[in-house]
Amino acid sequence: MAAKLRRTKIIATLGPATESEEMLVKLITAGVDVVRLNMAHAKHDWTRLIIRRIRAASKTAGREVAIMMDIKGPEIRTGDLEVPIELKPGEIFDFTVKPGGERDAEIRSVDVNYRDLVNDIKVGDTVLVDSGLIRLEVLSKDDAHIRCRVLTPGSLTSRRHINLPGVKVNLPSFTLKDRGDTLVGIEEGIDFVALSFVREATDVELLRLFLKENNSRARIIAKIEDQSAIDNLDDIIRATDVLMVARGDLGIEVPLQELPVIQRRAVRLCLSIGRPVIIATHMLESMIGQPMPSRAEITDVANAVYEQADCVMLSGETTIGKYPLECVSILDTIARRVEEEQAADFPEPAVFIQERMKVFRAAVVLANEFPRSLMLVFTRHGTNAAGIAAHRPPRAPILAVTDSPETLRHLKIVRSVEPFLLTPFGDPEATIERATAALLKLGRITPGDKLVIVSDVQAKDRRIDSIQLRTVE
């Protein structure tokens, strides 16, 4: 049988350490499935250049990858400072929402980029600055200032991110900057748009309408990053195409002990509905500067694989880290070892209500009966392949054959699916024979393998779902 597929997909974020075409080819060859562009500070000229560079590197490596544009979303940040402010415990400090307004000469302050913050926040609320390193309590407010007491001291520098645990912020979910960035991505043919700070299902629906109006087939990734998202988690998962558990901001917004509980709950909900799910942030954080991860990080990655998440994501590790290729290799190694363990002791496939999902379940049960089986699925839009993947087949890889390059890239984010391009689709039997011959030539299947073939055939005015069992000759 051909070499085993790694079921868990790897996402790598592009940055100064990895944006050269040479490094991109190495990352793709090493096993990266999706390349993420963080649009928080990206310029449009760079974005266009880098998307084209990724496509070129993909061709050089001989392996297709998907491109995710992670748009900034609604962010509250401090303003510019000439020098850092060293905040002391118990100090009274002001956040000013009207730049250039009157200030108290005896109290230090910093501007904030969100003028309506005074309307959203109330006395007693907590303000977290710079990933929660600085903590303040709101004492009072007026139309221009929010007066706080410093609880946890630290050095405040320019443009630091502000988190407000438990506070409903009335910023738009899809900002003007996001619209401009997304339009550039659409023009360049991105595959996924990741929407930051999703608070409710309507945030996803707004982006979906924008994509439809601009004739884009890009899929939506909803990032859950605050308490509002947790409160509306079920509706968000049903509205989106993919869910991302963004543990950076989420870990600041919710109590630390809740984070692993939320992660597990989110993954289970996605599995129950059949949505791909990404675990992101701080997977191998120590490897930004060190060649080996901590034991805790190894266990963290392994837990995400044990939970059967579709993807694990690298952020700073591949943007500014010294060891981006090593990070990819370590994720690959951990994932393969845990998946090997899972295949030895696997649960029954999930049970779904929909009729077609029951057909897919039957195919997975059949594949589990044969040690040397593979699942071969034909799909135009990725629905069949994703439906089978939702049942988490533990042994048989899913070889998805499609006639659409876009669908091929969309499937790069789905666990256990290895997509292939075959054009055009035609007579069902001839298409199966062509696909089998192509997979034999690629070494992806070998004589003697059992193929569980899933397809649908149009018969007059109806579609017939089909499951076949064949032996490769």
Mean pLDDT calculated for residue range 424-438: 91
pLDDT of residue 263: 97
User: 252 falls in which pLDDT band (50, 70, 90)?
Assistant: very high
Mean pLDDT calculated for residue range 439-466: 88
Active-site residue (options: 26, 53, 77, 108): 77
Domains parsed from the chain with CATH numbers:
9-74+174-344 (3.20.20.60), 85-163 (2.40.33.10), 355-471 (3.40.1380.20)
Whether the predicted pLDDT of 3 surpasses 60: no
pLDDT of residue 4: 78
Lowest mean pLDDT segment, chosen from 141-150, 384-393, 456-465: 456-465
Q: Rounded to an integer, what distance in angstroms lies between the CA atom of residue 297 and that of residue 206? A: 36
Mean pLDDT calculated for residue range 174-195: 97
Tens digit of each residue's pLDDT (9 = 90 or more) over 43-79: 999 999 999 999 999 999 999 999 999 999 998 999 9
Beta strands 34-38 and 154-156 are unpaired
Q: Rounded to an integer, what distance in angstroms lies between the CA atom of residue 85 and that of residue 155? A: 6
Whether the predicted pLDDT of 139 surpasses 90: yes
pLDDT of residue 1: 43
User: 109 falls in which pLDDT band (50, 70, 90)?
Assistant: very high
Based on the residue annotation, tell me whether 77 is a catalytic residue of this protein. yes
Nearest to 242 by CA among 187, 313, 333, 331: 313
* Region label for 382, one of left (φ > 0), alpha (ψ between -120 and 50) or beta (otherwise): left
Nearest to 393 by CA among 432, 363, 424: 363
345-370 burial string, b = 16+ CB within 10 Å, else e?
A: eeeebeebeeeebebbbbbbebbbeb
At 262, give phi and psi (nearest 5°). -65, -45
Tens digit of each residue's pLDDT (9 = 90 or more) over 11-27: 999 999 999 999 999 99
Cβ neighbors of 12 (< 8 A, separation 6 or more) are 18, 27, 32, 34, 35, 36, 313, 314, 318, 324, 327, 328
User: 361 falls in which pLDDT band (50, 70, 90)?
Assistant: very high
Active-site residue (options: 240, 281, 319, 407): 281
pLDDT of residue 9: 98
Active-site residue (options: 6, 7, 9, 36): 36
Whether the predicted pLDDT of 140 surpasses 60: yes
Based on the residue annotation, tell me whether 36 is a catalytic residue of this protein. yes
Lowest mean pLDDT segment, chosen from 121-125, 290-294, 358-362: 358-362
- The model carries a pTM of 0.94
Share of the chain above pLDDT 70, in %: 98
Active-site residue (options: 223, 275, 392, 395): 223
Which three-class secondary structure string do you get for the chain? Answer: CCCCCCCCEEEEECCCCCCCHHHHHHHHHHCCCEEEEECCCCCHHHHHHHHHHHHHHHHHHCCCCEEEEECCCCCCEECCCCCCEEECCCCEEEEECCCCCCCCCCCCEEEECCCCHHHHCCCCCEEEECCCCEEEEEEEECCCEEEEEEEECEEECCCCEEECCCCCCCCCCCCHHHHHHHHHHHHHCCCEEEECCCCCHHHHHHHHHHHHHCCCCCEEEEEECCHHHHHCHHHHHHHCCEEEEEHHHHHHHCCHHHHHHHHHHHHHHHHHHCCCEEEECCCCHHHHCCCCCCHHHHHHHHHHHHCCCCEEEECHHHHCCCCHHHHHHHHHHHHHHHHHHHHHCCCCCCCCCCHHHHHHHHHHHHHHCCCCEEEEEECCCCHHHHHHHCCCCCCCCEEEEECCHHHHHHHHHCCCEEEEECCCCCCHHHHHHHHHHHHHHHCCCCCCCEEEEEEEEEECCEEEEEEEEEECC
**How high does pLDDT run on average in the chain?**
94
Range among 130-134, 328-332, 380-384 rated most confident: 328-332
Mean pLDDT calculated for residue range 268-281: 94
Q: Rounded to an integer, what distance in angstroms lies between the CA atom of residue 163 and that of residue 77? A: 9
Q: Rounded to an integer, what distance in angstroms lies between the CA atom of residue 141 and that of residue 148? A: 9
pLDDT of residue 101: 63
Alpha-carbon dihedral angle through residues 294, 295, 301, 305, given to the nearest 10 degrees: 160
Alpha-carbon 231 to chain mean position: 20
Tens digit of each residue's pLDDT (9 = 90 or more) over 293-313: 999 999 999 999 999 999 999
Residue with tokens 């303003």: 79
Identify whether the C-beta of residue 354 lies closer than 8 Å to the C-beta of residue 457.
Answer: no
pLDDT of residue 349: 67
